[in-house]
Chain A
Amino acid sequence: EVQLVESGGGLVQPGGSLRLSCVVSGFSFDIYWMSWVRQTPGEGLEWVANIKPDGSDRYYVDSVKGRFTISRDNAKNSLYLQMNSLRAEDTAVYFCGQNTGMDAWGQGTTVTVSS
């Protein structure tokens, strides 16, 4: 069974940092692109970033470029999202997803940016 489990969310002040993690099981992590998607309260879905299987290519939505970094550790079946210079508008539930097509999703982790 494919499983993705996010962690690392929480309450942070504007300008602060958080590191999200996603541990996966049930599929060969090292051959898949992986993605982060977020959902703001009461709003829809927004793709944030994705990363190639070997980590050599990464792409970001314009609003997080220069602030967020996606990475992975294939030996640990883990995906990460380092979020710096956080803003109120980054408040959302963050989901990790298998593949660029979001074949499977985690349960999400909530990030709240507020003073």
Chain B
Amino acid sequence: DVVMTQSPLSLPVTLGQPASISCRSSQTLEHTDGITYLSWFQQRPGHSPRRLIYNVSKRDSGVPDRFSGSGSGTDFTLNISRVEAEDVGIYYCMQGTHWPPLTFGGGTKVEIK
């Protein structure tokens, strides 16, 4: 199984400042079809997760452009250019290249300083 490792575990940020979350996979996530199936999800307190980014860098409909994804191979990053209060929550990465099983990272908790 592919192990997804996120860091940091907790990320205190100042409103208006940037934030960055790392996600590393135990195997390369580039599929034989050429697509890298790496997604990012946001889970606000008391809510179900919501997908923000798929295929490393494609934003889902309605996701603010302050969220961006990058990376390749085994190393990926979610960036928030200027953190807003509504961005508080837990962020997860997930790989969909080598399944079953689909596997998630352990999560990064974003909070306001």
Contacts and interface: CB of A to CB of B under 8 A. Distances in A.
Interface residues of A, number: 21
Contacts of B48: 95, 105-108
Contact of B54 (A35, A95, A101): A101
- Of B39, B100, B107, the most chain A CB neighbours within 10 A belong to B100
Tell me the interface secondary structure of chain B in the complex.
Answer: loop
A46 interface: yes
A37 B107 CA distance: 15
Interface of A: 35, 37, 44-47, 50, 59-62, 95, 100-108
B99 A45 contact: no
Given A101-B37, A102-B51, A44 B101 contact: no
15 contacts: A37-B102, A44-B106, A45-B94, A47-B100, A47-B102, A47-B104, A59-B101, A60-B100, A100-B96, A101-B94, A102-B41, A102-B94, A103-B51, A103-B54, A105-B50
Interface residues on B, range: 20 to 34
A100 B60 CA distance: 15
A45 B7 CA distance: 16
Contacts of A106: 48
Interface string B60-98: 100000000000000000000000000000001010100
A101 B94 CA distance: 8
Interface string B15-44: 000000000000000000000010101000
A44 B96 contact: no
